[in-house]
Amino acid sequence: MTRTPIPRFEDNYTEQAAQSRRDFLAEQTGASFEHTGTYSLPPESLKSNTENFIGVVQMPVGVAGPVLIHGEHAQGWFYVPLATTEGTLVASYSRGMRMVSESGGVKVTVAEEFMQRAPLFEFDDARAALRFLKWAEENLSNIKAEAEKTTGFGKLVHIQTWQVARMVYTRFNYTTGDAAGQNMCGKATHAACQWILKNSPEAISYFALSGAIETDKKHSHMNLLHSRGKRVIAEATIKREVLQRLARTTPETIFKQRQRSAIGAQLAGSAYSGPHSANGIAALFIATGQDEANVVESHAGMVFMDITADGDLYFSVTLPSVICATKGGGTGLATQAECLKMLGCEGTGKARKLAEIVGATVLAGDLSLLSAILADEWVSSHDAYGRNR
């Protein structure tokens, strides 16, 4: 068989280029691109976002809420866009948001935030590696200066280190402003490491810009302990009366189920101990132009519950690695920018606000799904809203 390359042009981001590729693919595959080729965004706006552009995949967007959020950055009522093809999802999140809001709202805190790149250095023996570690600590200010020459937003805060045999594994931890920052951190760390390779008093026998301990776009226990992205903590006290009226359950019933499902999650080795954080995060990420692969890191976390002295339900969600941005990536694309504007999260200074909305959304969705399971409405709700008939 002869390889037939995809058409490319001097300017690949024109309507003519996109149409040529659609015509080519129709001839090669027999597929029709009537809907894929129908869109409102200008192709020239997609530079740095995709290659070989042919059109769009239209994803339905529903709106959940409103939800009352008491964050340090997100304050007030929010209507939350969720891009999903799963029936019942938006309705379920809306119900959870109503329960949370009628109980006084959800308090959300961003406890810390870092983005990493994790170089590996190897030496002749363990003692040389240990001497290098001491030298690197003494020269941290120089390493920091070299890294920050490459970016106006990224700041190298600290470097974690682990020595294994004659190797040194590191994690360079940055703050990245309103960007998610993976590429920013890669460029900054590359510059810093070039300085290290040139100035280290110890001979470095092997170097790699990534030793894989940053676990980029992979879940890891490391990120539960040392935040990658933003560590988001959402808390709400759900009133007994609200649970009985809107969810047909009680604080004690939810707490009892939580105690038992925690063991099931441990047996399964789940990355998240609550019902379904990835659902809300994925839908919100797609709607707002986030890198969808970051869901694998962002969804991990812990749920904690308690019964208050008044007999209400304290419910909290801790997400230690929410990777989200309000600048860069897909956040400037046409429909994604509209969804960010709906949240008041477009532009500079809004990344923490978006992270707080993510935390509130996850808590509301978990509360709703738990309630549906306990009221034996999980299957019936999907039958009513989620089946293609």
- Per residue of the chain (389 residues), what is the pLDDT tens digit? 789 999 999 999 999 999 999 999 999 999 999 999 999 999 999 998 999 999 999 999 999 999 999 999 999 999 999 999 998 999 999 999 999 999 999 999 999 999 999 999 999 999 999 999 999 999 999 999 999 999 988 999 999 999 999 999 999 999 999 898 899 999 999 999 999 999 999 999 999 999 999 988 888 889 889 999 999 999 999 999 999 999 999 999 999 998 898 899 889 999 998 889 999 999 999 999 999 999 999 999 999 999 999 999 999 999 999 999 999 999 999 999 999 999 999 988 999 999 999 999 999 999 999 988 887 654 455 455 555 55
In one-letter notation, the amino acid at residue 189 is T
Please measure the distance between the N-terminal and C-terminal CA atoms of the chain and give it in whole angstroms: 42
254-286: b (≥16 Cβ within 10 Å) or e = beebbeebbeebeeeeebbbbbbbbbbbbbbbb
CB 362 within 8 A of CB 281: yes
Active-site entry in 70, 190, 276, 382: 382
Distances (CA, A) of 306 to 53, 223, 364: 51, 25, 16
| Two structure tokens written together for 343 | 């949240």
Q: State the pairing for strand pair 120-122/302-307.
A: unpaired
Active-site entry in 23, 70, 86, 190: 86
Q: State the pairing for strand pair 167-175/155-164.
A: antiparallel
Tell me whether residue 382 is one of the annotated catalytic residues: yes
Tell me whether residue 86 is one of the annotated catalytic residues: yes
Neighbours of 152 (CB within 10 A): 7
Active-site entry in 112, 291, 338, 377: 291
Give DSSP secondary structure letters for 60-102.
-EEEEEEEEEEESS-EEEEEEEEE---TTHHHHHHHHHHHHHH
> The whole model's pTM is what?
0.93
- Distance from C-alpha of 277 to C-alpha of 280, rounded to nearest angstrom: 6
pLDDT of residue 375: 77
pLDDT of residue 43: 93
- Distance from C-alpha of 176 to C-alpha of 166, rounded to nearest angstrom: 32
